[in-house]
Amino acid sequence: MAPTDDTTPTTAPTLVVDRPPVPTAVRARGLRLTGSRGPVYGPVDLDLPAGTLTVLQGPQGAGRSSLLLTLAGRMVPDSGSRLVVLGEPLPRRRTAVQRRAAVAGFAGIDDLDEAVTVADLVRERLAWLSPWYRRVPKVDQATLDRVLAPVFGDRPLPRTSTLVWHLDEVDAMLLRLALAMAQRPDLLVVDDVDQVHDSRRRQTVWTRLEVVAATGTTVVAAVASLDEAARTPWTTSPQQITLATGPHAVPAA
């Protein structure tokens, strides 16, 4: 019997970890919308991974708001468009998508009444999201902080008695985002991020949207500046959609 050589080196087996692919939150092919005055947007092809931030860039009139509302199940695209959002085919499953998608920053949809307090707005939102038979009590500071803190981060939170009129444009935008996130959506679409006019202060909004996406919510946010994504410092480069001379999707740099 041959002697055993215990000094012979051995190679440890390589451990291969199969990581599941990141699911796609939005998949569109030939997505377009035509209005009474002609094309609104499209055709657009999209593949947006879940839990990511996408920046939708385009000038006024390029169809940004309409595209966002289509993704959220609020508008119906042209026949022949193929669109699946959160695993649901649109427009057939619009109601299911609407339950899981929240909107923020849209004129005429989630405008803030400047004459009311922040606590009143939060209570109204919580009442809207609660069953009809459940009474929502007056919002105290602890409840307000719980609703706003995930979006505001380390930024000072408004007080319950703060009137919306007294909020600066950054806090007003973050409040709209927080009210939308109270729905605990899987998809958040945000219009007109450049209603925060100063680009340096707008960075606060982008940073907080990155945090929201990092928690697992897919975020698609629109801005008018065509070079916004290139000029903004990012933790992770977002995917970009550019709607300009002819709406088309552009992969992340």
pLDDT at 249 (0 to 100) = 47
If you average pLDDT over residues 30-47, what whole number do you get? Answer: 92
pLDDT over 70 (residue 18): no
User: What's the pLDDT at 247?
Assistant: 44
What are the chain's domains?
Answer: 24-250 (3.40.50.300)
Give per-residue pLDDT as tens, 201-223: 999 999 999 999 999 999 999 99
d(CA 104, CA 183): 12
Contacting residues for 150 by C-beta, under 8 A, at least 6 apart: 178, 181, 212, 215
pLDDT at position 37: 86
pLDDT value at residue 174:
98
pLDDT at 26 exceeding the cut of 50: yes
Report the distance separating Cα 228 and Cα 176, nearest Å.
21
Average pLDDT over residues 220-229: 93
Q: What span, in angstroms and rounded, lies between the C-alpha atoms of 247 and 253?
A: 18
pTM for the model stands at: 0.86
Q: What is the pLDDT of residues 131-145, one digit of tens each?
A: 888 888 899 999 999
Strands 248-250 and 101-104: unpaired
Mean pLDDT within 72-85: 96
Q: What is the mean pLDDT of the chain?
A: 89
Percentage of the chain beyond pLDDT 90 is 78
Q: Assess whether pLDDT exceeds 90 at residue 244.
A: no
126 has pLDDT over 50 = yes
- Going by pLDDT thresholds of 50, 70 and 90, the confidence category of residue 111 is very high
**pLDDT at residue 123 tops 50:** yes
